Amino acid sequence: MNIYNLTRDEMEEYFVDHGSKKFHADQLFSWLYEKRICSISEITNIKKEMLEQLSLDYSFSKLKLIQVERDVDVCKYLFELPDCEHIEAVLMKHDYGNSVCISSQVGCNMGCKFCESGRRKKVRNLEVFEMVTQLLMIEEDLKERVSHVVVMGIGEPFDNYDNLLKFFLIINHPKGLAIGARHITVSTCGIVPKILEFSSFPLQINLAISLHAPTDELRNKIMPINKAYPLKDLISALEVYLENTNRRLTFEYIMLSGINDTAECARKLAELVGHLNCYVNLIPYNETNNLEFKRSSTIQIMEFYDILKKNRLNVTIRREFGSKISAACGQLRSKKEEL
């Protein structure tokens, strides 16, 4: 077991179970996340006997950083896991702070046709420490604080639900990484039961939906998840989520040339989500040699944008990062593992 798997409450329970004091949980959290120790031997305010027990019960290891690709305001990190599998994370520098997009699984079983991550099937879920230490190691490389986190890298986060929630509790905790809940976003392709469950999660985490098509007919073709949870069910779940949380939704919409970027698609999208408290984030597609999809032209993206605006939707076009690196999600991992 890795020590970075534990929430603050789980640490407290551990110390109490071993006849020690509750406040040691705060002390240990501080050593891990504020002082950023590299070894348990650096801890000075917990009894030696307790530290020896900790070292027997837990590993304090992190991931192995094996490659970094850098471009203007963006870095892409390739990590090796303890079982020699690989995952990616991306740092993006904005005027409001440093945002990191992390992975939640090794591979992905959702099978979205346009996604490089989905081309390589799910191997396993990431443990909590494998998500947490992505952030720790990026901050170490950056020498700056990460202020925003997006769980939108390799994997479907809601397919690793329990570990995901523990990850949120750790990075949000004041003695953890102290990242505000409203600065954390999780993206799902539409696992309806987990959306409903997430609507009762106490932290005000932002929810983004990878939509990418405004009709069942089109979404079935490019996103197999829609066959299990069609748009009617998805929208109904999101209405429950909005009623329970009063949080604004984000709809992610990748612009695929000749597939989902027509004027008709824009009008149907406005009809589908116009009644919801939401905004639509249009995403220029990052092309990859392994998939046949092409990016919509800038003119087509702007025409799509204008139609949504005319239909009174809040809409943005995502700023593009990493034109000189392996920008598509999963692309760096694929390069490494297909050598």
What's the pLDDT tens digit per position in 204-252?
Answer: 999 999 999 999 999 999 999 999 999 999 999 999 999 999 999 999 9
Average pLDDT on 165-178 reads 97
Structure tokens at 195: 């959306």
Residue 201 has pLDDT above 90, yes or no: yes
Q: What is the pLDDT of residue 42?
A: 94
Q: Name the nearest CA neighbour of 71 among 321, 285, 287.
A: 321
CATH code of 3-57, in short, is 1.10.150.530
Average pLDDT on 103-117 reads 93
CATH 3.90.228.20 at 64-337, yes or no: no
Q: What is the mean pLDDT of the chain?
A: 94
Q: What is the pLDDT of residue 193?
A: 98
Where residue 333 falls among pLDDT bands split at 50, 70, 90? low
Kindly state the percentage of the chain with pLDDT values over 90. 88
Q: What is the pLDDT of residue 326?
A: 59
Phi first, then psi, for residue 258 (nearest 5°) are 75, 5
- What's the Cα-to-Cα distance from 275 to each of 40, 193, 248, 268, 270, rounded to whole Å? 53, 22, 12, 13, 9
Average pLDDT on 24-50 reads 94
pLDDT digits (tens, 9 = 90+) for 65-102: 999 999 999 999 999 999 999 999 999 999 999 999 99
Q: What is the pLDDT of residue 287?
A: 86
Residue 315 has pLDDT above 90, yes or no: yes
Q: What is the pLDDT of residue 336?
A: 55
Burial grade of 4 (CB within 10 A; 0-12, 13-18, 19 or more): buried
Q: What is the pLDDT of residue 324?
A: 58
Per-residue buried b or exposed e for 205-235, using 16+ beta carbons within 10 Å of the residue's own CB: bbbbbbbbbbbeebbeebbbbbeebbbeebb
Q: What is the pLDDT of residue 322?
A: 61
Q: What is the pLDDT of residue 206?
A: 98
Where residue 20 falls among pLDDT bands split at 50, 70, 90? very high
Q: Spell out the domain ranges in the chain.
A: 3-57, 64-337
Catalytic positions, written as ranges = 88, 329
Average pLDDT on 21-39 reads 94
pLDDT digits (tens, 9 = 90+) for 119-163: 778 999 999 999 999 999 999 999 999 999 999 999 999 999 999
